Structure 1
Amino acid sequence: MNAQKGFTLIELMIVVAIIGILAAIAIPAYQDYIAKSQSGAGYSEVSSLKTGYETQLNEGKIPTKLSDVGITAVSSTVCDYAINAFTATSGQVDNAITCTLKGNPRIATKIISLNRSATGAWTCTTDIPATDDKFIPKGCVSGTAAKGSIVAL
């Protein structure tokens, strides 16, 4: 007799079910990973602008546009940037430099904001809710963050 070789329908259905279960677990985890990395990249990009802001302050200038702090574009693939000029002689300003995140729907339109105290200390706040703390970059706290008002180059 000639023996048949191959898979039965039930064996194929079991394999498809296993793949479906793995995909149902992996896809949300991957989406969360992407959102976390995008918020971290936004924090990294906006933090790099502190040096330019401090340079302007030390030279006695008030940064009024993004090019003053060393950025040549209002937008990147990660953020839309904005800047608030300080009015106090100490250089203190809330939401000095802000990044409105793009990308994953879990973090899109959320804001990462850098604030400068009168003593020159920088803090980071974000409007990513504390319930989504896995998306909040290290060094930032959930709180009130508002978009900066000046976006001119």
Structure 2
Amino acid sequence: MGRRDISTNLKKLQDAKRQETLEKIQHAIDEILEDDDIVTKKKLLELTGLSSATFSKPHVLDLLKKNKVCQFRETVKYEKSNDTSEVEQLQKLIINLEKKNALLMSKLQDKDIKISLLREKNEKLENDYSMILGKLHLILKRIDMLDIDIGIDLDEI
């Protein structure tokens, strides 16, 4: 028995879904790399909300391979020719890690500043909201005292 051809609309829908999935994964990869972190399948699963099976699909594997992440990540290989070269490699590694640590601390400080600014803005907005709410209350009370009909039953508010 022969296979039926898939309709063009269904093919377009499938392609659109594939593209949406790839964009979601690429966005998650970019976000992880932006935080100077290692891209793992577990982190991608958490960020994207996609199933584990999705990461076995050929189009997703191509994207992972293109980005050189997950199982396609390039690993650092150390030569163990003698003790001095190993010590030098470890010293370079320590220096690189210290640079990364300084960068992360800087980013953390930037985020703390942003959080502080957002808290101040939120506090100002809450104060403004309270002020407006108080003024509205006074206006409604005055309307009620003057017995003006504004089309709203103030006793039900």
TM over 0.5: no
Structure 2 length as normaliser, TM-score? 0.31
Q: Choose between structure 1 and 2 for higher RCO, CA contacts under 8 A separated by at least 6 residues.
A: 1
More strand by share: 1
The structure number with the bigger radius of gyration is 2
Structure 1 length as normaliser, TM-score? 0.32
More helix by share: 2
